[in-house]
């Protein structure tokens, strides 16, 4: 597939890295040093110029592209670039749009603009944080089959009851139906079999129903109820989207920012939130504002280093009782603190945006985008969890899973029957027509449920 990416910034570069291996990618940007860097690092074509220009798009052969993705920092250029591409005959266009005013207009202008998808990075990241705060025991949470089955990311602490346990003994030990479908250990990622032994420090990915997952974490003694009070530092756009969602969920929200003007604006926009002018890096202020009695702390300022320091301070003052989430965009800093126990979850607007776009691209690869219902990428894209619907004509229907010759590195991680019943699969279970099936795989090119067989 031929893809044109307009904008070689953080999101554009992340997309280039993820898509250039399997697709013919052309990158357009007016910044010559960025273009030179892209060409030197990735096997892609590149054009230096204004991505919204008709002539520049012709030079980039946009008229031959299957998809154009506009990710510049300018909303207007992104919208115009998609509009020009549509006039050149591109069927699919995606724009990164951050201005809330434009987002509201796009609801009734989408067909005229020809946009296939628009993404607001801050809003998308805020939604991910809100999902985590509904289930604070998890580092990350993804949903399948309209929330009936969930996949959570969790790191085993040093004193975990699962340290040294074989996966085949997990159900006998807990009597809870969960499936560990992927494990990341240092630089290695595996789709484990029953003889795999867990170790402290492992990052594990579990699937089950929300109720069973809650019961499992209660059994481990690490369950945290849904956060009811949240402290957010940084009165940013992301803060606005997050606080709005949390207030709608019935949580109490306290916002702290040094900028008095931003605080006044935020208090006007969110009258139900308590907004405080102050320095979130001041440990005394956090103590005075009740960090010890707060369920969750979220640092979303525009400075990654400040978010890290505030999060570590909040975790120390709350003595681990508070769920701590930090927004960190720089990849080098994410790698640096990913093993830092005091920060429970790390969110990057860039990563969330690129993952959503990659999901759309993978759906395009599938026949008419209809075969892959949901896709989530795990372990920095090394593993994918995909949701398929099983047609009545499938060769998989009716055969016990133990008798299917499934390819190496592929695991059927969950089944949702048409009735809504959740099945954590064993060898004796069989797929039925109409099932939603979650497949976890290290084959990042899987497009059809039939392709899981040898």
Query: Which residues, in sequence order, are CB contacts of 388 under 8 Å at separation 6+?
Result: 371, 372, 373, 436, 437, 439, 448, 449
Residue of 331 and 55 predicted with greater confidence? 55
pLDDT value of position 305: 94
The whole-number average pLDDT for the span 137-141 is 91
Fold assignment, 125-130+225-347? Rossmann fold (3.40.50)
Task: Of 117-126, 342-351, 357-366, give the lowest mean pLDDT range.
Answer: 357-366
Average of per-residue pLDDT across 237-250? 95
Query: pLDDT tens across 27-68, in order?
Result: 999 999 999 999 999 999 999 999 999 999 999 999 999 999
Instruction: Write down the pLDDT at residue 25.
Output: 97
Residues 127-136: what's their mean pLDDT? Answer: 93
Is pLDDT above 80 for 112? no
Domain boundaries for CATH 3.40.50.720 within the chain = 2-119, 125-130+225-347
Between residues 389 and 105, the one the model is more confident about: 389
The residue-averaged pLDDT of 216-243 equals 93
pLDDT of residue 340: 64
pLDDT tens string 257-270: 999 999 999 999 99
- pLDDT at position 151, please? 95
For 14-37, the pLDDT digits (tens) are: 999 989 988 999 999 999 999 999
Q: What is the mean pLDDT of residues 311-330?
A: 90
Specify the pLDDT at position 115: 83
pLDDT of residue 106 exceeding 80: no
- pLDDT band at 187; cut points 50, 70, 90: confident
| Residue-level length of the chain | 454
Taking alpha carbons only, the member of 256, 232, 252, 250 closest to residue 242 is 232
The rounded distance, in Å, linking the Cα atoms of 388 and 374 is: 7
- The percentage of the chain sitting over the pLDDT mark of 90, rounded to a whole number, equals 74
What is residue 397's DSSP assignment? B
Output the pLDDT for position 181.
Answer: 94
DSSP string, 282-325: -HHHHHHTTGGG-SEEEE--S-HHHHHHHHHHHHHHHTT-SEEE
Which listed CATH number (3.40.50.880, 3.30.70.1450, 3.40.720.10, 3.30.43.10) goes with 366-452?
Answer: 3.30.70.1450
pLDDT for 346 equals 92
Question: Minimal CA–CA distance to 208: which of 219, 200, 216?
Answer: 216
CATH 3.30.70.1450 in the chain is located at 366-452
Q: How many CB atoms lie within 10 A of CB 284?
A: 10
Q: In the predicted model, is pLDDT for residue 370 greater than 60?
A: no
Q: In the predicted model, is pLDDT for residue 437 greater than 90?
A: yes
Q: Provide the mean pLDDT of the chain.
A: 91
pLDDT score, position 186: 84
Reply yes or no on whether the pLDDT at 232 is more than 90: yes
Alpha carbons 399 and 431: distance in angstroms, whole number: 7
Looking at the predicted structure, is the pLDDT value of residue 369 above 50?
A: no
What is the architecture, at CATH level 2, of domain 2-119? 3-Layer(aba) Sandwich (3.40)
Average pLDDT over residues 98-114: 74
pLDDT the model gives residue 252: 96
Using pLDDT thresholds of 50, 70 and 90, give the confidence band for residue 454. confident
The predicted structure's pLDDT at residue 233: 97
């Amino acid at each position: 597939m031929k893809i044109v990416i307009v904008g070689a910034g953080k999101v554009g570069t992340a997309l280039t890295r993820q898509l250039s291996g399997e697709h013919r990618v052309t990158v357009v940007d007016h910044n010559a040093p960025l273009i030179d860097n892209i060409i030197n690092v990735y096997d892609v074509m590149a054009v230096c110029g204004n991505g919204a220009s008709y002539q520049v798009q012709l030079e980039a052969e946009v008229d031959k592209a299957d998809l154009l993705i506009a990710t510049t920092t300018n909303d207007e250029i992104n919208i115009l670039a998609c509009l020009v591409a549509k006039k050149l005959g591109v069927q699919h266009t995606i724009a990164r749009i951050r201005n809330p005013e434009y987002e509201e207009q796009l609801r009734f202008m989408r067909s005229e603009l020809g946009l296939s998808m628009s993404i607001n990075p801050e809003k998308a990241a805020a939604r991910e944080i809100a999902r985590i705060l509904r289930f604070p025991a998890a580092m990350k949470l993804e949903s399948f089959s309209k929330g009936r089955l969930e996949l959570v990311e969790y790191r085993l602490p040093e004193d975990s009851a699962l340290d040294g346990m074989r996966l085949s003994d997990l159900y006998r030990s807990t009597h809870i139906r969960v499936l560990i479908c992927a494990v990341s250990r240092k630089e290695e990622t595996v789709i484990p079999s029953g003889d795999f032994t867990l170790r402290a420090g492992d990052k594990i990915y579990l699937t089950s129903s929300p109720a069973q997952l809650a019961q499992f974490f209660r059994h481990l003694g690490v369950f945290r109820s849904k956060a009811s009070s949240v402290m957010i530092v940084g009165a940013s756009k992301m803060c606005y989207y997050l606080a709005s969602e949390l207030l709608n969920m019935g949580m109490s929200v306290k916002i702290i920012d040094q900028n008095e003007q931003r605080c006044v604006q935020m208090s006007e926009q969110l009258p139900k939130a308590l907004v405080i002018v102050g320095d979130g890096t001041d440990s005394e202020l956090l103590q005075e504002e009740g960090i010890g009695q707060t369920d969750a702390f979220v640092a979303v300022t525009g400075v990654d280093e400040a978010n890290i320091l505030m999060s570590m301070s909040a975790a120390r003052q709350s003595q681990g009782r508070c769920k701590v989430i930090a927004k960190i965009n720089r990849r080098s800093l994410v790698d640096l603190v990913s093993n830092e126990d005091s920060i429970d979850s790390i969110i990057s607007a860039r990563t969330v945006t690129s993952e959503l776009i990659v999901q759309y691209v993978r759906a395009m690869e599938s026949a008419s985008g209809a075969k892959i219902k949901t896709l989530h990428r795990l372990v920095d894209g090394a593993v994918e969890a995909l949701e398929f619907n099983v047609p009545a004509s499938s060769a998989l229907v009716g055969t016990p899973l133990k008798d299917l010759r499934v390819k190496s590195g592929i695991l059927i991680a969950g089944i949702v029957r048409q009735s809504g019943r959740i099945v954590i699969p064993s060898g004796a279970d069989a797929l039925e027509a109409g099932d939603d099936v979650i497949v976890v795989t290290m084959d990042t090119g899987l497009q059809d449920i039939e392709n899981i067989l040898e």
